[in-house]
Structure 1
Amino acid sequence: MKQLVNKNLITLKCVLFCFLSGIGSIYPFLPLHILSVGLDRGEARLISAVAPCIALLGPAILGPLIDKLSVGRGSTGGGTGPSGSGKLLRVVTAVCLVLSALFYTLLLAVPYTERHEARRPQVLFMCDADGAYVMQEVCTEGMRCNRWEGEKSGVLAVSACEYGCADDNMTWVTRPFTTTSTTTTLSPMYNSVANATSPAPLVTDEGEGDDDFEFNPPHLCYNGQCLVYMQHAARMRVPLALIAPEPPQDNSTMENNWCTYRTGGPSKCPVPAERLAALGAGAACRAAVRCQVLDPYDEPGGVLADAECRLVVGDPAYSFWTYFLIRIFADIWPTAALALLGAACVIATRETSLGRGDVGRQMAFGTLGLAIFPPLAGFAATQMPDTPYLVPFLMHAIFMVIGAIILLVDTRMPLSTPEWWWHTATGALALPLSAVRRYGAETAAVFAVVALLGALWSAIDAYLPWTVAALNGTALEAGLTLTAGALPAVPALWWAEALVDYVGHSNVFITAFTFYCLRYTGLAYSESYSWVVVCELLEVFTLSLVWVTAMLYFRHLVPKKYTTTGQALPVIAHFCIGRCIGAIVSGLVSLEQPLESLRSVYRALGVTALLAAAVYLALYHLLLAPRCAAPAVAPPHHLLQGLNANGGSNGNYSPMRVYHEERSRKGHFRY
């Protein structure tokens, strides 16, 4: 009777268990952790989209590198024969796990920043014979004025300009404006200008036109040009440049709770003697003109644009770039480790394209960790509100280090390639390059399909914790979403190879597209956390079976001497390129109504998934399958001789008998 558990593969199962446990401990909480540091959702989306693009460097570099070094050594991983330990593969994978633990733990050291919502303080304009001043209300107690280097140029939209007497306490300037007319009745001459078709203010040279009008409307002069405020226009755009106030020497915010910005060029508002007499003011009157400022922060080209009040704790730019750099380096290592562990599963199970091995069963054991530890990490986060993500990140580091130790200590792990692979990949028995070119188009097509499936997966999972939080879910419930997807995957992965062999690789992909349509439809109309969990139960069809199918498919398509590269390809397609595209697509939501906008995206992606399933079904069964059915072809005579000479065959082309002692299934494996 065949053993239920292969003792030689126990340590590999333990490594996969530790790896997926570590991934599950932090993956549901990374989107939440970004926000907890103080970054906004736009910055979080940028990080989530860019990090997978950089992460593809790991599998893209390490996969071919290990294959190249392995060919030079005579076996994958540097082993010396069938009992070799695959030292190179083990050490590189262990290094990836340790670096993953290190970089993700460094995310805990990113400095906290805090940005409160902008408040729009009142802005006033005052001008006298000495100059013009723009005054902005102080934001809150303890906050200082906006500052910039040199002069800041722009426009200031003013209205309701009037004459008056300014005082040191700013009583008149800060007095509320009334809705009544702020200028006296105009003379017929002024009315002729006011009734002109153009609402633009009258522009005169400084010193000219002061006595042209009977009642002398307010003149605002800057850099030798004067603008005349005309009551009918209701808005006058004043071009000017402002100089930020110097920081106070006594640590006070500013006088009278107002920030005063002076103009960069010479400015003044002349007040005729007739106006002073009309005001009934004496010689002590500081004659001035004040204006109400309209839309100081929204005016196109406004000099005070982006000068709203913001309470900022820490340095947002420094926190963002620190988090961004650490995160893009952190994502490289688990992505590379996933590709290397996929190659280890293929090698350790001694699988060829002639029959079934135990790849799915190794993944099933690892998936147990993905089902158990995410809710435990989430529960720990809810119990530690001050440092909610400390335990999840430490759990990730511990599991990764344990997995690395197992890889380094267990020298008996069967990670060297079977001799038959290398006998057909080197020397006189080398496979011709035509074997690689023959499957090149099919490899590219499967790569594109897996990338599209990865995009559909990422469009859900990249920001699913935000959806859970929007539905008033906790960190524990965010972790349970992974458990809901992982638990059904354990039995499915256990029998995955038999299922894939029976159904066919392409049919599994078509089924995945169909179930993505169901998942997106459910999420688009879900109103509670329970519906999210129900949709996550379908992930067994959209991720788990898809992933093991991709591993098996690329194992068949790629020559054995490129085993690690072959397993890096689905990782790059699904978890790098696809993940990037999905994060971008699902990130295109409204910041004002993120949940409702996300539902619209889900509905659109559900239709996309259904169309992809229909197109794939039609192309494959009507066009590709009839043309690509491979007839059973006898192996080359020299290959039979080579196998017979090594005692691996009794004259029939059945190398599976060497390793599995079972009938060859060449020509019957379904793709």
Structure 2
Amino acid sequence: MNDQKTQKSANMKTLVNKNLITLKCVLFCFLSGIGCIFPFLPMHMLSVGLDRGEARLISAVAPCVAILGPAVLGCLIDKLSVGRGSTGGTPGPSGSGRLLRVVTAVCLILSALFYTLLLAVPYTERHEARRPQVLFMCDADGAYVMQEVCKEDMTCNRWTGVKSGVLAVGSCEYGCADENMTWVRQPFATTTTTSTLSPMYNSVANSTAPTVNFTTYDDDEEDFDVHPPHLCYKGECQVYMRHANRLRVPLSLVAPELPDDNSTADSDWCTYRTSGPQCIVPLDQLPAEAEFGECKPAVRCQVLDPYDEPDGVLADAECRLQIGDPAYTFTVYLILRMLADIWPTAALALLGAACVIATRETSLGRGDVGRQLAFGTLGLAIFPPLAGLAAEQMPETPYVVPFVLHAVFMLIGALILLFDSHMPLSTPEWWWHTSTGVLAMPMNTVRRYGAETAAVFAVVALLGTLWSGIDAYLPWTVLDLNGTISKVGLTLTAGALPAVPALWWAEALVDYIGHSNVFITAFTFYTLRYTGLAYSTDYSWIVVCEVLEVFTLSLVWVTAVLYFRHLVPRKYTTTGQALPVIAHFCIGRCIGAIVSGMVSLEAPLESMRSVYRALGVCALLCAAVYLALYHLLLAPRCAARPVAPPHHLLQASTVDGQLNGRGLNANGGSNGTYSPMRVYHEERSRKGHFRY
């Protein structure tokens, strides 16, 4: 009976390790803070006035810059943590774990700071462009283009130098021009359609009066066709004929002379002179009521599609009402977002290393990394919908609460790291690879698994691409399906709740299934997720697809942490945990944001569904290729036969088990054999009954 009580007490002590409580709290605060802000960032970019194209650019650029965080800090901590040389000794101050705690705390504080600064980005507003009417008139001195003044700000467009392009015209008429431009503004007697385009007559002039051959038509049009308007520009004349519905006139607009604010004295029209073309108007074609000497012969034409014509001289001259400076808002947001994304990405790598170190995984047992992550995932399940619900209660400033909650959680996590000096982050003695002593493990006995590390890195990056293809713009999809901000937060809850029990038993599950099989399963479930999203018509389907995230993100992430824990030498633990972060949440996130951002801005929902279908097919192909390559080619080659260990390594295993608080038979797997290859590869391999 006493033995049973002792065993039960030991099991309870193993289940609840008091030394790891503060680490669990830090993970809870970190993931709660991430959950409060991550799903709302795509919507916040639109709320400050950025368009979806600018938001996609920011979503793609920020992860690239975020690589600096885990890459630099991971290598720096590993370098400073080596506190002794090959002759032995004790770890330096950084080996106690203080450096890791302090740097992680700084990352959390900077994350809170820079994301909060996003609330201070100046607001901008761009209304839909209004297309004012455009008129065209031409005489022997040159041509004039008239545009209605923009009523929003009563200004005219102005540019530097001369602006060249074309202007499509039709339904030209002869008449008399005047200084007040009253004739050109009068309604046209007849109009023409623009649905049919006819070829024009062109002539290159070798003299001031080019010779043109043309044909006459019906009697009522004979005079106009015999003496048609000639629009000459740079020695080339185009002849307008009544049967032709469209004529593309090349011209160069001269910047108007306006005050510094571009305001115009004329409250209705902006008039632009051109450096061409000139119009040749026969005098006998002027109206009969015009008196000779008081009439300036001219031609006016209706302007067709001035803002849509290819190479149009007025293609960007619509009236736009803007509040603030869109370019300035975009630049400020981009810079702050790039700086902000560095710190949580770095903190994720450092916390992954802290989990690996604190759980004291040894060659004889597993370290329960998944249980630490499971506790933190609770925050990811609880707070995003609460933050979204609070945002809905503040329609004027909806994103203040999520950003403030993010800052609060990050600061709490930083305080725990700074003041808890008992967190077990000191490096175990046997982790330091030296060439002497009873715990020595010469580096030449450890095979370099660079090729396998690179392969796993590529697989994790590909999985990160598929993850970002959904999560980067999923909030927009929810809103397009008439969802709310709180429903956007619930999508994270749907994916995080099933992840809690899965992560709790993650190491045993990954041990049973095998690392590569977990990755193959993830590709398969991405196919299901993308297929469901491609054909989803309401919010409930999105929730169902998000539940499957436990297979595509949660198990993938813990598998990557465990895999790199064994692939990378112990003295590079932090760098090893930075690799999956860089692959999944930096490189993969960037590529996924680019791929899923290639949608039509006019029909974003339908276009996004097409992208989902394409990525679903890609995920299925990846699963099939990975399955075939691994089980037919790689797995048979990776199996290694056990070899007898050196005597001093067998002693090291004994001490190692004691350091872990367990005997050699704690997991029932020690049989006096040593197999380095089996540490790293799948199938028939064991490191504490752990399969690779």
For the criterion TM > 0.5, the same-fold answer is yes
1:316 and 2:326 aligned:
yes
In structure 2, what is the Cα distance between the partners aligned to 1:212 and 1:625? 81
Residue 5 of structure 2 corresponds to which residue in structure 1?
Answer: none
Shift of the 457–433 alpha-carbon distance from structure 1 to 2, 3 Å rule, reads farther
Greater mean alpha carbon deviation, residues 458-467 or residues 220-229 = 220-229
Q: How does 1:470-485 map to 2 (within 5 A)?
A: 470-485=480-495
Q: How does 1:26-425 map to 2 (within 5 A)?
A: 26-72=37-83, 85-167=96-178, 170-179=181-190, 199-204=200-205, 208=209, 216-222=227-233, 227-248=238-259, 253-264=264-275, 268-269=278-279, 271-276=281-286, 278-281=288-291, 284-422=294-432, 424-425=433-434
In structure 1, what is the Cα distance between the partners aligned to 2:37 and 2:258? 44
Residue type of the partner of 1:558?
Answer: V
CA displacement at 1:451 relative to structure 2: 1.3
Shift of the 236–452 alpha-carbon distance from structure 1 to 2, 3 Å rule, reads same
CA displacement at 1:285 relative to structure 2: 3.9
1:461 and 2:471 aligned:
yes
Give the alignment partner of residue 524 of structure 2, picking from 514, 537, 554: 514
Q: Is the 8 A contact 1:656 1:664 kept in 2?
A: no
In structure 1, what is the Cα distance between the partners aligned to 2:644 and 2:263? 91
In structure 1, what is the Cα distance between the partners aligned to 2:458 and 2:488? 30
Residue type of the partner of 1:669?
Answer: F
Q: Describe the superposition over 1:136-165 as per-residue Cα deviations: whole angstroms up to 9, x where unpaired.
A: 122334242221111112222322222113
In structure 1, what is the Cα distance between the partners aligned to 2:522 and 2:90? 38
Residue 454 of structure 2 corresponds to which residue in structure 1?
Answer: 444
Residue type of the partner of 2:522?
Answer: A
CA displacement at 1:133 relative to structure 2: 0.9
Q: Is the 8 A contact 2:350 2:574 kept in 1?
A: yes
Residue 662 of structure 2 corresponds to which residue in structure 1?
Answer: 660
Q: Is the 8 A contact 1:200 1:236 kept in 2?
A: no
In structure 2, what is the Cα distance between the partners aligned to 1:578 and 1:639? 39
Residue type of the partner of 1:352?
Answer: T
Q: Is the 8 A contact 1:85 1:411 kept in 2?
A: no
Shift of the 211–600 alpha-carbon distance from structure 1 to 2, 3 Å rule, reads closer
Greater mean alpha carbon deviation, residues 401-410 or residues 606-615 = 606-615
Q: Is the 8 A contact 1:205 1:226 kept in 2?
A: no
Residue type of the partner of 2:161?
Answer: G
CA displacement at 1:277 relative to structure 2: 5.9
CA displacement at 1:562 relative to structure 2: 0.9
What root-mean-square deviation, in Å, do the aligned CA atoms of Structure 1 and Structure 2 show?
2.9
Give the alignment partner of residue 556 of structure 1, picking from 566, 583, 587: 566
In structure 2, what is the Cα distance between the partners aligned to 1:370 and 1:96? 19
Residue type of the partner of 2:657?
Answer: P
Shift of the 165–309 alpha-carbon distance from structure 1 to 2, 3 Å rule, reads same
Per the alignment, in what secondary structure is the counterpart of residue 201 of structure 1?
Answer: strand
Greater mean alpha carbon deviation, residues 250-259 or residues 29-38 = 250-259
Q: Is the 8 A contact 1:142 1:253 kept in 2?
A: no
Q: Is the 8 A contact 1:93 1:337 kept in 2?
A: yes
Q: Is the 8 A contact 2:96 2:427 kept in 1?
A: no
Q: Is the 8 A contact 1:20 1:367 kept in 2?
A: yes
Per the alignment, in what secondary structure is the counterpart of residue 288 of structure 2?
Answer: helix
Q: Describe the superposition over 1:243-266 as per-residue Cα deviations: whole angstroms up to 9, x where unpaired.
A: 22233589854515111111136x
In structure 2, what is the Cα distance between the partners aligned to 1:80 and 1:615? 45
Residue 186 of structure 1 corresponds to which residue in structure 2?
Answer: none
CA displacement at 1:598 relative to structure 2: 1.4
Residue 691 of structure 2 corresponds to which residue in structure 1?
Answer: 670
CA displacement at 1:83 relative to structure 2: 12
In structure 2, what is the Cα distance between the partners aligned to 1:181 and 1:358? 79
Residue 570 of structure 1 corresponds to which residue in structure 2?
Answer: 580
Q: Describe the superposition over 1:402-439 as per-residue Cα deviations: whole angstroms up to 9, x where unpaired.
A: 111111111111101111212x44656243246242x2
Shift of the 59–433 alpha-carbon distance from structure 1 to 2, 3 Å rule, reads farther
Q: Is the 8 A contact 1:216 1:272 kept in 2?
A: yes
Ranges of 4+ aligned residues in structure 1 off by more than 6 Å: 81-84, 209-215
Q: Is the 8 A contact 2:82 2:92 kept in 1?
A: no
1:630 and 2:640 aligned:
yes
Greater mean alpha carbon deviation, residues 270-279 or residues 49-58 = 270-279
Shift of the 251–519 alpha-carbon distance from structure 1 to 2, 3 Å rule, reads closer
In structure 2, what is the Cα distance between the partners aligned to 1:574 and 1:665? 33
CA displacement at 1:233 relative to structure 2: 3.7
Aligned length: 644
Q: For structure 1, list consecutive stretches of 5 or more residues without a partner in the other structure.
A: 183-196
Shift of the 249–339 alpha-carbon distance from structure 1 to 2, 3 Å rule, reads closer
In structure 1, what is the Cα distance between the partners aligned to 2:84 and 2:257? 70
Shift of the 656–527 alpha-carbon distance from structure 1 to 2, 3 Å rule, reads farther
In structure 2, what is the Cα distance between the partners aligned to 1:82 and 1:364? 31
Shift of the 233–371 alpha-carbon distance from structure 1 to 2, 3 Å rule, reads same
Greater mean alpha carbon deviation, residues 217-226 or residues 408-417 = 217-226
In structure 2, what is the Cα distance between the partners aligned to 1:20 and 1:310? 42
Per the alignment, in what secondary structure is the counterpart of residue 123 of structure 2?
Answer: coil
Residue 627 of structure 2 corresponds to which residue in structure 1?
Answer: 617
Per the alignment, in what secondary structure is the counterpart of residue 126 of structure 1?
Answer: strand
Shift of the 50–180 alpha-carbon distance from structure 1 to 2, 3 Å rule, reads closer
Shift of the 82–537 alpha-carbon distance from structure 1 to 2, 3 Å rule, reads farther
Q: Is the 8 A contact 1:85 1:412 kept in 2?
A: no
Q: Describe the superposition over 1:273-314 as per-residue Cα deviations: whole angstroms up to 9, x where unpaired.
A: 433463444654444221122232233332222222222222
CA displacement at 1:504 relative to structure 2: 1.6
Q: Is the 8 A contact 2:502 2:555 kept in 1?
A: yes
TM-score for the superposition, normalised by structure 2: 0.87
